[in-house]
Amino acid sequence: MSLKERVWDGKPISEPGMIKGVDMASYHNQLTVTPSISSSGQRTIWSKSPAHYFDTSYLNPHRAEEPDRPHFSVGRAAHHLLLLGRKGFEDEFVIRPEKWDSWRSPDARKWRDEQAAAGKTVITAAELDSIAAMAASLGRDPLVKAGILDGLVERTIVHRDPETGIFVKARPDSVPADADAADLKTTAGIDDDSIQRSITDFGYHQQGATVRSAFQLALGVTLETFTLVFVEKARPFCVRTVTLRNEDLDRGAAQNRIANVDFAHGVKTGEWPGPGAVDAEYMGLQPYMIQRIDKRLANEIPALEQALYEQRSTS
């Protein structure tokens, strides 16, 4: 599968396609000629609200202050080290000098800002050790050795949502040479519960749907599968690969559709509402607690009534 791409000229993007050379800071800001949304934005709107998205969005002139390393990803760093080697890794990442253990001093902040201006992502020596261990573990995995994560790295795919006309941007870990896309994720554990919790909590099915739409609408390619390669963030750095079900990707696409409409409405009107309806809503116990209470009541109320009956009979 041969895919067309173009090199970014540093100007706002006006046409769909796959673009090489977009740095992370530009990706998370005003990358397109009109406002655009990424998968993380879609997931925030769906799981929280448009207000939560706008609070930290580049569209908000009074947005909340970002943390020190807003675009840093351990998984992305491990992927760089695995696929591009130490030279490719050092082109983007730089280690914070050991003389600083935080960014409290003016000199430390100045150095950090200089690295950011040069397009570098700062990591600590401890993070590098973990990244190297993860990359080594990934390199030993049979599916990774077979090339599941191979492809074009650090490519941005931009397309227009057919329904709203807004730009949607995606940045998969790698653009595959076939119709099977894979993304690298770090996780606390690779047991069934941990992986299912990660997919649910982080909305990876929505991300997969965004990537699927990007391939279809920008590149004219129909993805057959979307696979996640999980690696543990701590020893023993085990690896596990899972493919998302198509029905879950379809759910993610439906969620993204609603998020796109909410985003387009916010851009047009300047209204970014929080969660909930205008009027008071009914809200109660979680389903599992209802079942637990009802089960206990079903057992204890007959015993209570029997005890009361016996007490009345003897009085």
Q: Pairing between strand 174-175 and 17-20? A: unpaired
Would you place residue 83 in the very low, low, confident or very high pLDDT band (cuts 50, 70, 90)?
Answer: confident
Residue 85, burial from CB neighbour count under 10 angstroms (0-12, 13-18, 19+): exposed
* Residue that wins the pLDDT comparison between 71 and 89: 89
pTM comes to 0.82
Report pLDDT digits (tens) over 186-218: 899 999 999 999 999 999 999 999 999 999 999
For residue 87, pLDDT over 90 is answered with no
The CATH number for 6-269, chosen from 3.90.320.10, 3.20.20.100, 1.10.630.10, 1.10.10.10, is 3.90.320.10
Residue 68 amino acid letter: D
Residue 125 amino acid letter: A
Q: Under DSSP, is residue 218 helix (H, G, I), strand (E, B) or coil?
A: helix
Residue 315: per-residue pLDDT: 65
Low-confidence winner among 40-54, 77-91, 234-248 (lowest mean pLDDT): 77-91
Residue 70: per-residue pLDDT: 44
Q: Where are the domains of the chain?
A: 6-269, 284-315
Would you place residue 311 in the very low, low, confident or very high pLDDT band (cuts 50, 70, 90)?
Answer: confident
